[in-house]
Amino acid sequence: MMQEGLDDGPDFLSEEDRGPRAVNVDLQTDATLQVDISDALSERDKVKFTVHTKSTLPNFKQNEFSVVRQHEEFIWLHDSFVENEEYAGYIIPPAPPRPDFDASREKLQKLGEGEGSMTKEEFTKMKQELEAEYLAIFKKTVAMHEVFLCRVAAHPVLRKDLNFHVFLEYNQDLSVRGKNKKEKLEDFFKNVVKSADGVLVAGVKDVDDFFEHEKTFLLEYHNRVKEASAKSDRKIRSHKNAADDINRIASTLYTLGTQDSTDLCKFFLKVSELFEKTRKIEARVAADEDLKLADLLKYYLRESQAAKDLLYRRGRALVDYENANKALDKARAKNKDVLQAETTQQVCCQKFEKISESAKQELIDFKTRRVAAFRKNLVELAELELKHAKGNLQLLQSCLGVLKGDT
Amino acid sequence: VCACVRESVCERERESVCECVREGVLFLSQSPEAACLSAEDISPSSNGPRDDDPDDLFAEATEEVSLDSPERQPILSDGPSPAITPVTPVMISPRVDDEDEEENRDTFDIQISVSDPEKVGDGMNAYMVYKVTTKTSLSIFSRDEVCVKRRFSDFLGLYSKLASKYMHMGYIVPPAPEKSIVGMTKVKVGKEDLSSVEFVEKRRSALERYLLRTVKHPALLKDPDVLQFLESSELPRAVSTQALSGAGILRMVNKAADAVNKMTIKMNESDAWFEEKQQQFENLDVQLRKLHASVESLVCHRKELSVNTASFAKSAAMLGNSEDHTALSRALSQLAEVEEKIDQLHQDQSYADFYLISELLGDYVRLITAVKGVFDQRMKAWAKWQDAQVMLQRKREAEAKLQYANKPDKLQQATDEIREWEGKVQQGERDFEQISKNIRREVGRFEKDRVKDFRVVIIKYLESLVHTQQQLIKYWEAFLPEAKAIA
């Protein structure tokens, strides 16, 4: 837990109340099926999540149980949804990103190597910060895996999926290995084909205004979210860098304070103390912006991609349907294989209509979720920024009061 | 009645506190429009041949500073300038806190500003000319207000003259700003872009601080070179040897002193004060350099933050445009506006970081080099005294030998030489004691100024930070209802 209190002044750095952790998605928690990640363990190169389920549904043997899962198993579950034709008409909740501690680990390693070149205090300080960073990344990956599960559990159809139940209940290893090189290559080509196809499909104008609008909207929206996400990451990185500088400045001021032979020594010590505190607040500001803004944008980047995928599938089904119609007309004209053509056409028609129906609702829900999530996060962002700015202000003003009074 | 200067001088008489001294801090005379440029290092540029100006009383003094020849000293210390005799300073720094104004006003009345940089000439021979305005009621100045035009090499010339005259006596002579080949080349070539404008502003500000520090020193204020620099409309061009940068001269001084020290001097430090002080300045040097580096890094990162915030603001605006839910779209546009304002805040803050803190630290790093130089000068004086004693001993031995050899004419010469060296030993001892006394006084004054400078600047800096936070609060408070209005 990143609990950090301040000696004087209110507790600006206390951890947020942990409420429902699905920060990016506004979900109703439903008594019939509740899923969360109750614990997680970070080992050398993998993370083990403890998935905890509470359910009154009859399909499960018990009402409450836990299993341990790794990232690959989440991906397996996600991919099984994507590959299931039955779910073609739904927005598949985006898969959580792979836990990535590489950057953090590298920094810790570099710190270890550079231990000789800095003072003991500096080393301890930097080590604490890197550990806090590691912890933050860890918490984030846990949250993202949890959101995925919660979205599935909240979806009226997906929650009934058999693979999902196996995932939740089967307390042995699912023996899902990660994709090997060949499979990854196949995936890559599949994506290339899909995006080429997607362009063709997108070119087909839709009779239905609703979907036509959604298509245009999602395409532009997705790109803009991508841009905003990248820019917000860069901004937050700069913020962290500036906070690091203030950290170094505080340390040097402290040394100056201890060494100075004039009245400045008290002065330097006081200012050093001030900067230590304001730096912590600045670091918190960057972390909160990351959580409330950057993560939000990243999540909706993935969701909007999933929505685009839905539209693609529908578009694909539409093209298939139209092709089946043309084939039927041709068959009737030639009076050859008419029955077969009729069956194909009917199948395509049903598939298309089924997807269209659920897709419409999914897209409407997507909008509702999106607006709610943005509202929640933007409000919380503004509240946190205010809290931190007021905290900073109070620290600065009280220090100024003391320093001016001393002269 | 204006408290700052005598009524006849002050134009804004009726105000209770005159505008002209309200800007109490030494280093800011106008709002900084520039941002950081790391000072490149120097190499002397040629300023052309020296004009042989017959009116230049200090022609001799402008010879190349040669630190090893003892012959140099008589020329300069007996020179025409009366200011070399150490004067007990009455002085209080001209820099004023608004509250202390009243008490300080009557003893020190001088304001200097460097302004209106103008480019003269074209191409690689071009240079910047700055207007130096001095307003004062002190009697040593011929007029109450003087304006002259000076170029950068003139400032360097002034510094090198002052250094060669006073440093060996233990006075801490404030160093002139650094030369910058890269910066100046851009200006010469005529690039009217932001970075050359910033460079000129940075230099202008540095030159102003340099002059203010120089006249703050009681002995330097009275120096004829300084008076001439501030007052006379024509100044002889500084010679190419003069065009060594202030830092270059300091380095020369220190290097020579180091070389001498390492070779022969094992000074018996009888006075613990000097040893202690030297160690303190050594430590201070290390820490200030470290601090300076961190602050420069902060300046750059804050500028980066400002740029990235602006870029994010644009992308947020675009996102708001494409969002089809009206209230959310509006909120996102508002967010974009907030971020744009915040980016401006970051930029302003980075200017404050730079002009308040970074430049102050840079100045002090150079000043401490000057202080260390002065301690080395004392060691040199001690060495000279010791050498004279050794020489005297040798002469006495030589005379004793001649006594036995019975060569009357050579004996007379030997006796004369003994007297000469006795005189030199006495002079050496006097010089050593004088420089020790001077240094004690100078260090005391320096430390007092240092305390004041840092206090004032840091408080001003914290106030800028307060302002930033207050603005942040304003912006986010305006945004919050917009976010809550999303339905």
Q: Per the CB < 8 Å rule, is A379 touching B328?
A: no
Q: Per the CB < 8 Å rule, is B455 touching A267?
A: yes
Q: Tell me if B63 sits within 8 A of B76, measured CB to CB.
A: no
Of residues A268 and B3, more confidence is placed in A268
Q: Per the CB < 8 Å rule, is B462 touching A248?
A: no
Model pLDDT, residue B245: 57
Ramachandran area for residue B66 (φ above 0: left; ψ -120 to 50: alpha; else beta):
beta
Judging contacts by C-beta atoms under 8 Å, the chain A residues touching residue B342 are none
Nearest CA in chain B to A250: B291
Model pLDDT, residue B54: 38
Which of B302, B315, B449 has the highest number of chain A CBs within 10 A, making it the mutation to test binding with A? B315
**Which two structure tokens, joined as six digits, stand for A110?**
């570099």
Residue B462 is nearest to which of A225, A383, A396, comparing CB atoms? A396
Which of B318, B322, B334 has the highest number of chain A CBs within 10 A, making it the mutation to test binding with A? B322
A217 and chain B in contact, CB less than 8 A: yes
Task: Output the average pLDDT for chain A.
Answer: 85
> What is the least distance, in Å, from the CA of A197 to any CA of chain B?
25
Say how far residue B279 (Cα) sits from the centre of its chain.
22
Judging contacts by C-beta atoms under 8 Å, the chain A residues touching residue B297 are 245, 248
Residue A395 CA to residue B392 CA, distance in Å, equals: 67
Model pLDDT, residue B188: 73
CA–CA distances in Å: residue B381 to residues B69, B122, B391: 13, 47, 15
> What is the least distance, in Å, from the CA of B480 to any CA of chain A?
6
- Give B50's Cβ-side CA count (13 Å radius): 18
Model pLDDT, residue A172: 79
Q: Among positive and negative, which fits the CA dihedral B352, B354, B359, B361? A: positive
Q: Residue A92 corresponds to which amino acid?
A: I
Q: Per the CB < 8 Å rule, is B462 touching A271?
A: yes
Q: Tell me if A251 sits within 8 A of A122, measured CB to CB.
A: yes
Residue B312 CA to residue B337 CA, distance in Å, equals: 11
Q: Per the CB < 8 Å rule, is B480 touching A382?
A: yes
Burial tier of B396 (Cβ tally within 10 Å: 0-12, 13-18, 19+): middle
Residue A23 CA to residue A15 CA, distance in Å, equals: 15
Judging contacts by C-beta atoms under 8 Å, the chain A residues touching residue B460 are none
DSSP assignment string, B387-409: HHHHHHHHHHHHHHHHHHHT-HH
Query: H-type helices in A33-119, by residue range?
Result: 71-83, 102-113
* ipTM for this model: 0.84
Angle at which helices B408-484 and B359-405 pack, to 10 degrees? 170
> What is the least distance, in Å, from the CA of A284 to any CA of chain B?
15
Element of type H or E holding B133: strand B127-136
Judging contacts by C-beta atoms under 8 Å, the chain A residues touching residue B459 are 400, 403-404
Model pLDDT, residue A25: 57
Query: H-type helices in B223-271, by residue range?
Result: 224-231, 246-264
Residue B295 is nearest to which of A228, A249, A267, comparing CB atoms? A249
Spatial neighbors of B69 by CB under 8 A, at least 6 apart, are none
Spatial neighbors of B426 by CB under 8 A, at least 6 apart, are none
Q: Tell me if B228 sits within 8 A of B235, measured CB to CB.
A: yes
Residue A349 CA to residue A339 CA, distance in Å, equals: 15
Spatial neighbors of B486 by CB under 8 A, at least 6 apart, are A371, A374, A375, A378, B325, B327, B328, B331
> What is the least distance, in Å, from the CA of A277 to any CA of chain B?
14
Say how far residue A139 (Cα) sits from the centre of its chain.
11
Residue B253 CA to residue B187 CA, distance in Å, equals: 31
> What is the least distance, in Å, from the CA of A369 to any CA of chain B?
12
> What is the least distance, in Å, from the CA of A4 to any CA of chain B?
21
Residue indicated by tokens 């933007």: A378
Q: Per the CB < 8 Å rule, is A249 touching B298?
A: yes
Of residues B95 and A185, more confidence is placed in A185
Q: Per the CB < 8 Å rule, is A392 touching B469?
A: yes
Model pLDDT, residue B259: 61
Model pLDDT, residue B361: 94
> What is the least distance, in Å, from the CA of A42 to any CA of chain B?
33
Q: Per the CB < 8 Å rule, is A393 touching B451?
A: no
Q: What pLDDT, in 10s, does the model give residues A75-98?
A: 999 999 999 989 999 999 999 999
Nearest CA in chain B to A245: B298
Degrees to nearest 5, angle at CA B383 with B382 and B384 = 90
In chain A, % of residues over pLDDT 90:
50
Q: Per the CB < 8 Å rule, is A264 touching B455?
A: yes
Q: How many CB atoms lie within 10 A of CB A193?
A: 10
Q: Per the CB < 8 Å rule, is B316 touching A241?
A: no
Residue indicated by tokens 């010879």: B63
**Which two structure tokens, joined as six digits, stand for A81?**
């949804």
Q: Per the CB < 8 Å rule, is A374 touching B328?
A: yes
What residues 274-303 of chain A have any CB closer than 8 A to a CB of chain B? 274, 278
Which of B280, B291, B461 has the highest number of chain A CBs within 10 A, making it the mutation to test binding with A? B291
Low-confidence ranges of chain B (pLDDT < 70): 1-108, 190-192, 238-266
Say how far residue A393 (Cα) sits from the centre of its chain.
32
**Which two structure tokens, joined as six digits, stand for B448?**
């007092």
Model pLDDT, residue B92: 35
> What is the least distance, in Å, from the CA of B155 to any CA of chain A?
31
Q: Among positive and negative, which fits the CA dihedral B305, B306, B311, B313? A: positive
A400 and chain B in contact, CB less than 8 A: yes
> What is the least distance, in Å, from the CA of B33 to any CA of chain A?
21
Q: Tell me if B198 sits within 8 A of B35, measured CB to CB.
A: yes
> What is the least distance, in Å, from the CA of B273 to any CA of chain A?
12
Say how far residue A23 (Cα) sits from the centre of its chain.
9
CA–CA distances in Å: residue B72 to residues A189, A257, B35, B63: 84, 42, 43, 10
Strands, sheet with A33-42, edge to edge from the N-terminal-most edge strand: A33-42, A47-55, A64-70
A75 and chain B in contact, CB less than 8 A: no
A364 and chain B in contact, CB less than 8 A: no
Nearest CA in chain A to B319: A224
Judging contacts by C-beta atoms under 8 Å, the chain B residues touching residue A239 are 305
A367 and chain B in contact, CB less than 8 A: yes
Q: Among positive and negative, which fits the CA dihedral A156, A160, A161, A164? A: positive
Provide the 8-state DSSP code for B59.
T
Residue B360 CA to residue B464 CA, distance in Å, equals: 16
Judging contacts by C-beta atoms under 8 Å, the chain B residues touching residue A378 are 331, 335, 483, 486
Of residues A26 and A265, more confidence is placed in A265
